């Protein structure tokens, strides 16, 4: 390609990337001041021709300098000071050579010739090298016979030389150097080198050389031998050659071990690598005539190991590697090679290069690192993020009972060593399991089902954690083994941010088993059981079977009906948790009225009692509302009575009793309740002195409590339910049933 670049003091930089064979015309304008042009490295711009010309008429100088360590024509710099003064320089991989400059006068024949550029050896003598550019074809000629008129009009660049000389030669100037020619064109273009003599291209060194043709991203390489059947198209000298199969056929068909002539040697646009033999066969050598390669590059051998060697021979740590590229603009996606600077580890990297990479690493010790270049064990997986290793069973999803497992073997390789353990997913049982020894398709010692339930010795755990033992007591042991008193325990946590709510375990300082709300079991104040089996609630267990610090509720759990032991030891009854006592009103201590009074007479042989006829009554002694009684309750009044004579009339007879109650609390006015009464049925056939119980009725003591005074009068009144019992009845006692809710009261006057 031919490029034109304009430089001046404001923009003196020679930028751009040029390839072998490019011609760069550099027009320098120093009108506004002298300036210096810094050349790109000759190693980078190899075989590029730079044509400098000063176009301004000022006396300002344009200085051209190479990179440090390089020269231009053996000098540290070159300068242009006169208008139209010019110099042509060509990179040779290490320095720049001067191929032409303004010196002397005249042209090729001393008089100047249009379209020609020549190099003068002195002021009057031209060298034999000639460069001609007529605007369409660039011709490079070196020799004595002069320029040929037989130029292919379809060509862009023609190189002509003497018949006994190599047309083009690439010299390797240093170890590791690379020579290349790049031909580039569009999709419809064709790039071809046509040779009409021996050794079209000669590579006289063992260095790495490349002839490359690029057509819109597709690479071609084709060299055709057209005129001679006993001369090589491409000649490699020294060790720079390609060997194939047992007969070591190289690309130079003049070699003694070649039995056919290579006519074509190329890569096509699909990157297929190919040789075409002179006998028309698509073959590499006589032993495999007719063999067709399957892949773009194939090495075939019949009696030796087919080996592809990639060698980096250098004291510097260069990394031999293979890079894999994809995409329409080929981009390196993977690199595989040896990191010479990292203990010669083999590395796989998803990108360009293997130096200082750690995706997948094989060390010389045979250890593998994934995510680390320095594995400390046989296989180490390292990541700054989550790490996962997938073991996949039944990958074809045909529901076969195949398992994914890791087995542990000692004293020998897999299959011969002792089977120590097996960690696997059992596809048939649908569980994860671990078993010591060899797995037998019956679950393991530790199993986890799909619902994350864990089973010990069972692969069907009924809960989150189940221990099964069919020949001994299933025991779960929690051990705190240490000289320091560490407490073995279980803690229970709840809430979205889990918080310890309960702890159970042993306080190692006193061997008490505690149940504690909160964290830890060291001397808490919840529930404890000592080694004697004594229980403490709210306090450490003592010598009693039960020690409660605080209020204790016995009954329905403290909601309605329960007995309550308060923190001071008081027993209290709530709701239906109550008992009943009598407030007694003795008959014998009562006061009889002047009229309608009962008769105090013989009752049994040695006792006396009051005998009541209809309308007889008696006022009984005043009593006090009991301290044990439930305050503001209902009092149930009743009488105990007996008939004086046998009742044998042939029909039931009736007795009716009435009670009038009056009461007053401290500071209150006495209140008399409405009379209450009840009727007793005396069955026919009842015996003399037969005792009866008669529930008279209830008196509401709402608003009244302990210390309330109670008086009552008991009276026999006429029966209303039937025929009156004819004889007297003995009333032996009047009582009032009241529910109790405490054992006494807390003070003398308060509940």
- Concatenated DSSP letters for 136-178? S-EEEEESSS---S---TT-SEEEEE-TTS-S-B----STT-E
Please state, in angstroms and rounded to a whole number, the distance separating the CA atoms of residues 146 and 573. 136
Please state, in angstroms and rounded to a whole number, the distance separating the CA atoms of residues 518 and 491. 9
Across 656-663, average pLDDT: 96
With vertex at residue 597, the alpha carbon angle to CA 592 and CA 599, rounded to the nearest 5 degrees, is: 100
> What's residue 162's pLDDT?
60
Last residue of one domain, picked from the residues 264, 288, 312: 288
Across 687-693, average pLDDT: 97
Q: In this model, does residue 637 exceed pLDDT 50? A: yes
Q: Are strands 116-120 and 96-101 parallel, antiparallel or unpaired?
A: unpaired
Least-confidence region, from 33-47, 262-276, 316-330: 262-276
Please, what's the b/e burial string for 53-77 (b: 16 or more CB within 10 A of its CB; e: otherwise)? bbbbeeebbbbbbbeeebbbeeeee
Query: For residue 29, what is the domain's CATH number?
Result: 2.60.120.1230
Across 353-365, average pLDDT: 90
Q: How many domains, the chain?
A: 6
With vertex at residue 146, the alpha carbon angle to CA 87 and CA 231, rounded to the nearest 5 degrees, is: 105
Which residue's entry shows tokens 């083999």?
346
Least-confidence region, from 45-49, 267-271, 400-404: 267-271
Q: In this model, does residue 119 exceed pLDDT 50? A: yes
Across 264-293, average pLDDT: 40
pTM higher than 0.85:
no
Task: Rank 375-379, 481-485, 520-524 by mean pLDDT and report only the highest.
Answer: 375-379
Confidence of residue 290 (pLDDT cuts 50, 70, 90): very low
Beta carbons within 10 angstroms of residue 675's beta carbon: 14
CA distances in angstroms from 737 to 582, 625, 629, 648, 751, listed in the order given: 5, 11, 10, 33, 19
Confidence of residue 124 (pLDDT cuts 50, 70, 90): very low
Across 472-485, average pLDDT: 86
Residue 476 belongs to some domain of the structure: no
Tokens of 457: 């010795």
Q: In this model, does residue 191 exceed pLDDT 50? A: no
pLDDT tens per residue across span 709-727? 999 999 999 999 999 999 9
Q: In this model, does residue 146 exceed pLDDT 80? A: no
> What's residue 609's pLDDT?
94
Residues 328, 267 within the same domain: no
Residues 213, 328 within the same domain: no
Residues 541, 616 within the same domain: no
Residue 262 belongs to some domain of the structure: yes
Across 464-487, average pLDDT: 88
Domain housing 257: 178-288
pLDDT tens per residue across span 415-450? 678 888 889 888 888 889 988 888 887 787 899 999
N- to C-terminal Cα separation, the chain: 118
Q: In this model, does residue 563 exceed pLDDT 60? A: yes
> What's residue 212's pLDDT?
42
Residue 162 belongs to some domain of the structure: no
Q: In this model, does residue 189 exceed pLDDT 60? A: no
Residues 377, 409 within the same domain: no
Q: Answer with the residue of higher pLDDT: 339 or 572.
A: 339
> Are 602 and 608 spatial neighbours (Cβ–Cβ below 8 Å)?
yes
3-state secondary structure of 287: helix
Q: In this model, does residue 337 exceed pLDDT 60? A: yes
Contacts 24+ apart (CB under 8 A), 565-571: 570/742, 570/743, 570/746, 571/742, 571/743
Tokens of 243: 């060997």
DSSP conformational letter for 668: P
Tokens of 496: 């979205």
- 195 bridge partner residues: 225
Q: In this model, does residue 223 exceed pLDDT 90? A: no
Pick from 713, 650, 727: nearest CA to 676:
713
For the chain, give me the number of helices (H) and strands (E)?
Answer: 0, 53
DSSP conformational letter for 288: G
> What's residue 129's pLDDT?
60
> What's residue 241's pLDDT?
29
> What's residue 642's pLDDT?
97
Q: In this model, does residue 134 exceed pLDDT 60? A: yes
Residue 745 belongs to some domain of the structure: no
Least-confidence region, from 167-171, 407-411, 430-434, 505-509: 167-171
Residues 448, 586 within the same domain: no
Q: In this model, does residue 292 exceed pLDDT 70? A: no
Phi, psi of 35 (to 5 degrees): -155, 165
Please, what's the b/e burial string for 396-431 (b: 16 or more CB within 10 A of its CB; e: otherwise)? eeeeeeebbeeeeeeeeeeeeeebebbbbbbeebeb
Residue 398 belongs to some domain of the structure: no
For 226-367, list the strands marked E by DSSP.
Answer: 234-236, 262-267, 273-277, 321-326, 331-339, 345-349, 360-362
Last residue of one domain, picked from the residues 500, 528, 549: 549
Please state, in angstroms and rounded to a whole number, the distance separating the CA atoms of residues 748 and 56. 131
Residues 421, 365 within the same domain: no
Across 544-554, average pLDDT: 89
| 3-state per-residue secondary structure call for 441-503 | CCCCCEEEECCCCEEECCCCCCCCEEECCCCCCCCCCCCCCCCCCCCCEEEEEECCCCEEEEE
Least-confidence region, from 354-358, 530-534, 656-660: 354-358
Q: In this model, does residue 350 exceed pLDDT 60? A: yes
Least-confidence region, from 6-20, 107-121, 293-307, 657-671: 107-121
Residues 584, 733 within the same domain: yes
Q: In this model, does residue 689 exceed pLDDT 80? A: yes
Residues 621, 728 within the same domain: yes
CA distances in angstroms from 29 to 36, 49, 88, 560, 701, listed in the order given: 11, 20, 17, 111, 128
Contacts (Cβ under 8 Å, ≥6 apart) of 562? 553, 554, 555, 556, 573, 574, 575, 577
Q: Are strands 218-225 and 208-215 parallel, antiparallel or unpaired?
A: antiparallel
Residue 79 belongs to some domain of the structure: yes
Please state, in angstroms and rounded to a whole number, the distance separating the CA atoms of residues 232 and 227. 11
Look over the chain and give the mean of its residue pLDDT values, rounded to a whole number: 78
> What's residue 114's pLDDT?
61
Tokens of 495: 């809430």
Query: For residue 679, what is the domain's CATH number?
Result: 2.60.120.260
Name the maximum alpha-carbon separation found in the chain.
Answer: 184
Least-confidence region, from 149-158, 352-361, 482-491, 595-604: 149-158
- Concatenated DSSP letters for 251-284? S-TTSTT--S-EEEEEE-TT--EEEEETTS---S
Residues 219, 362 within the same domain: no
Residue 305 belongs to some domain of the structure: no
Confidence of residue 620 (pLDDT cuts 50, 70, 90): very high
Residue 157 belongs to some domain of the structure: no
Q: In this model, does residue 316 exceed pLDDT 60? A: yes
Across 695-706, average pLDDT: 92
Q: In this model, does residue 247 exceed pLDDT 90? A: no
Q: In this model, does residue 297 exceed pLDDT 80? A: no
Confidence of residue 117 (pLDDT cuts 50, 70, 90): low
| 3-state per-residue secondary structure call for 408-442 | EEECCCCCCCEEEEEEEEECCCCEEEEEECCCCCC
Last residue of one domain, picked from the residues 76, 102, 128: 102
> What's residue 341's pLDDT?
87
Residues 207, 257 within the same domain: yes
Q: Answer with the residue of higher pLDDT: 605 or 162.
A: 605
Residues recorded for the chain: 751
Pick from 80, 144, 89, 139: nearest CA to 115:
139
Residues 334, 440 within the same domain: no
Q: In this model, does residue 253 exceed pLDDT 80? A: no
Confidence of residue 225 (pLDDT cuts 50, 70, 90): very low
Share of the chain above pLDDT 70, in %: 73
Residues 592, 729 within the same domain: yes
């Amino acid at each position: 390609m031919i490029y034109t670049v304009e430089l001046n003091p404001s923009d003196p930089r020679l930028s751009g990337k040029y390839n072998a064979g490019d011609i760069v015309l550099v027009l320098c304008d120093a009108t506004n001041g002298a300036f210096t042009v810094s050349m790109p490295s000759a190693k980078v711009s190899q075989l590029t021709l730079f044509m400098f010309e000063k176009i301004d008429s000022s006396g300002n100088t344009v200085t051209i300098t190479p990179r440090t360590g390089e020269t231009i024509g053996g000098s540290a710099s070159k300068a242009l000071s006169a208008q139209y003064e010019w110099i042509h320089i060509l990179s040779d991989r290490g320095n720049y050579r001067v191929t032409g400059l303004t010196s002397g006068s005249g042209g090729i024949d001393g008089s100047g010739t249009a379209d020609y550029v020549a190099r003068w050896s002195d002021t009057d003598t031209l060298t034999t090298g000639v460069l001609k550019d007529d605007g369409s074809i660039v011709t490079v000629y070196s020799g004595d016979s002069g320029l040929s008129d037989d130029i292919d009009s379809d060509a862009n660049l023609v190189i002509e030389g003497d018949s006994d000389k190599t047309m083009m030669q690439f010299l390797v100037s240093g170890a590791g150097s690379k020579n290349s020619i790049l031909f580039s064109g569009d999709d419809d273009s064709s790039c071809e080198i046509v040779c009409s003599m021996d050794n079209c291209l000669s590579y006289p060194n063992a260095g790495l050389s490349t002839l490359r043709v690029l057509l819109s991203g597709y690479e071609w390489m084709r060299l055709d031998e057209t005129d001679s059947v006993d001369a090589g198209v491409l000649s490699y000298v020294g060790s720079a050659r390609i060997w194939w199969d047992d007969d070591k056929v190289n690309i130079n068909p003049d070699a003694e071990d070649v039995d056919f002539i290579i006519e074509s040697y190329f890569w096509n646009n699909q990157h297929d690598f190919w040789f075409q033999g002179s006998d028309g066969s698509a073959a590499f050598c006589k032993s495999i005539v007719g063999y067709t390669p399957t892949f773009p590059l194939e090495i075939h051998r019949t009696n030796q190991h087919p080996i592809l060697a990639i060698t980096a021979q250098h004291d510097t740590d260069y990394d031999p590697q293979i890079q894999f590229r994809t995409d329409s603009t080929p981009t390196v996606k993977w690199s595989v090679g040896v990191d010479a600077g990292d203990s010669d580890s083999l590395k796989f990297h998803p990108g360009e290069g293997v130096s200082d990479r750690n995706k997948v690493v094989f060390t010389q010790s045979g250890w593998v690192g994934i995510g680390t270049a320095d594995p400390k064990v046989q296989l180490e997986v390292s990541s700054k993020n989550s790490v996962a290793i997938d073991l996949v069973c039944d990958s074809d999803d045909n529901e076969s009972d195949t398992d994914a497992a890791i087995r542990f073997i000692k004293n020998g390789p897999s299959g011969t060593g002792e089977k120590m353990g097996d960690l696997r997913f059992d596809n048939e049982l649908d569980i994860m399991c671990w078993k010591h020894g060899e797995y037998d398709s019956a679950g393991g010692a530790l199993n986890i089902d799909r619902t994350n339930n864990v089973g010990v010795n069972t692969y069907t755990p009924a809960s989150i954690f189940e221990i099964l033992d069919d020949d001994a007591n299933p025991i779960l042991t929690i051990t705190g083994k240490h000289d320091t008193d560490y407490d073995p325990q279980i803690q229970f946590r709840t809430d979205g941010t889990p918080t310890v709510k309960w702890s159970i375990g042993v306080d190692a300082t006193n061997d008490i088993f505690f149940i504690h709300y909160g964290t830890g079991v060291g001397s808490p104040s919840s529930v404890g059981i000592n080694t004697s089996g004594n229980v403490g609630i709210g306090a450490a267990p003592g010598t009693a079977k039960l020690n409660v610090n605080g209020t204790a509720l016995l009954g329905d759990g403290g909601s309605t009906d329960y007995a309550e032991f308060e923190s001071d030891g008081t027993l209290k009854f709530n709701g239906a948790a109550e008992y009943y006592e009598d407030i007694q009103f003795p008959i014998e201590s009562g006061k009889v009225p002047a009229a309608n009074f009962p008769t105090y007479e013989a009752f049994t042989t040695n006792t006396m009692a009051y005998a009541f006829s209809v309308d007889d009554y008696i006022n009984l002694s005043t009593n006090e509302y009991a301290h044990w009684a439930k305050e503001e309750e209902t009092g149930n009044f009743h009488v105990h009575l007996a008939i004086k004579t046998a009742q044998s009339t042939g029909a039931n007879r009736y007795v009716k009793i009435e009670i009038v109650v009056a009461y007053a609390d401290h500071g209150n006015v006495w209140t008399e309740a409405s009379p209450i009464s009840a009727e007793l049925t005396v069955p026919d056939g009842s015996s003399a002195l037969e005792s009866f119980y008669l529930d008279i009725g209830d008196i509401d003591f709402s608003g009244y409590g302990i210390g309330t005074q109670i008086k009552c009068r008991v009276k026999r009144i006429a029966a209303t339910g039937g025929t009156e019992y004819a004889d007297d009845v003995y009333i032996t006692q009047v009582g009032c049933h009241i529910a109790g809710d405490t054992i006494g009261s807390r003070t003398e006057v308060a509940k």
